[in-house]
Amino acid sequence: LIDLQVGSRVFNDVPAKMRSELWMSKLHSASSLPTSSSLSSYEGCLGREVAPNVLQEIEKDIHRTFPGHVTLTSPAGQRAMRDVLRAYASYDPEVSYSQGMNFIVGLLLTYLTPPNAFDALLLIMSERGLREYYLPNGMVHLQARLWQLGKLIDDELAQHLEAHMVL
Question: Tens digit of pLDDT for each residue in 116-163?
Answer: 899 889 988 988 888 988 888 777 888 888 888 888 989 899 889 889
Neighbouring residues of 72: CB distance < 8 A, sequence distance ≥ 6: 65, 66, 78, 81, 106, 109, 110
- What is the residue type of 73? T
Each residue's pLDDT tens digit, 76-120: 999 999 999 999 999 999 999 998 899 999 999 988 899 989 988
pLDDT exceeds 50 at position 3: no
How far separated are the first and last CA of the chain, in Å rounded? 39
Q: Could you give the angle at the alpha carbon of 46 between the alpha carbons of 21 and 54, nearest 5°?
A: 110
d(CA 125, CA 10): 25
Q: Could you give the angle at the alpha carbon of 122 between the alpha carbons of 145 and 34, nearest 5°?
A: 130
d(CA 99, CA 52): 16
Question: Counting beta carbons within 10 angstroms of the beta carbon of residue 14, is it exposed (0 to 12), middle (13 to 18) or buried (19 or more)?
Answer: middle
More confident residue, 12 or 41: 41
- What is the residue type of 83? D
d(CA 87, CA 48): 8
Average pLDDT on 15-25 reads 72
d(CA 162, CA 61): 29
